[in-house]
Amino acid sequence: MTSPGAEPDPLPSRRDARMRVTRRGRIVGAAALAIVLVVAVVAVLVLLQPQPAPPAATPEPTASAPSATPTPTATPTPTPEPEETFDMTRNSIDDPGSFWVVVDKLRPLEPRDYAAPDLVDVPVPYVYAPKLRKKAADAVVAMFAAYERETGLRMQSQSAYRAYATQVTTYNGWVSQLGQKGADLTSARPGYSEHQTGLAIDISALPANCALQACFADTPQGTWLAENAWKWGFILRYPEGKTSVTGYEFEPWHYRYVGKALAAEMREQGVETMEEFFDLPAAADYAG
């Protein structure tokens, strides 16, 4: 028990100071440990992160071996294709029913009184009502229409199909006017006439101008026909300067249907008569 007036005991103060020092040491140690732990965790995280792969080494270029130059091969010369030739045997030149039949003073129709088949009226302007075989008639109609459409002018049929009996009358009429020699230059004897085939037509201007005369060649109709009739399958059968071949004087009005193929081929070759095209004897006169 402390007596009044006695000095205070210094021991409690020293104990408190030691306790405070001890607590601060613990706090400092805990903080240091926490820092160490944080640093350790950070280090582990850094070590666990994936490291970038080192860049691939660029291979050094190596010299490539020079490529071998190919040996050029000779280009083969193309073989030219043979040109298509016109088939001259496609149709008969002897059969009176053929579109290519050649009728002249050495080649009469057989039989002489042959009558053309499939005759039809030809719906074009005319002097004497025309009949022709169907294909020839259709071609005439188309040709006349083309001429009128292109020029504004007109043509007409002067004469077309003539039967054997009609040709007898026609020929005898020329003989009575010109004599037989003169008639043979102008008109065919019965059985020798192209008109009997149903494939020939005499054409004149409308209105008539130089009808059945050589001057028809100089009319607009005659000029146009000479230049264009082949497009519809017609040829000028008795051209100028070919009397020694055909046996007839120049008849710029007489057109013969042979079909587009033959008409075009004759024009292409520049051959004017059927006798020359088919290499037939000239028919300047009758055999007897």
Long-range contacts of 175-184 (CB under 8 A, 24+ apart): 184/105, 184/247, 184/285, 184/286
Can you tell me the distance from the alpha carbon of 234 to that of 213, in angstroms, rounded to the nearest whole number?
19
Element spanning 121, H or E: strand 119-121
Per the structure block, which two tokens stand in for 13? Answer: 């103060």
Q: Would you say the C-alpha torsion 115, 116, 120, 126 has a positive or negative sign? A: negative
Cβ pair 100, 261 in contact under 8 A: no
- Judged on CB neighbours under 10 Å (0-12, 13-18, 19+), 77 is exposed
Cβ pair 147, 155 in contact under 8 A: yes
Per the structure block, which two tokens stand in for 44? Answer: 């582990």
Can you tell me the distance from the alpha carbon of 103 to that of 96, in angstroms, rounded to the nearest whole number?
8
Give the start-end residues of each E strand in 173-228: 200-206
Cβ pair 204, 156 in contact under 8 A: yes
**Could you give the residue numbers annotated as active site?**
251
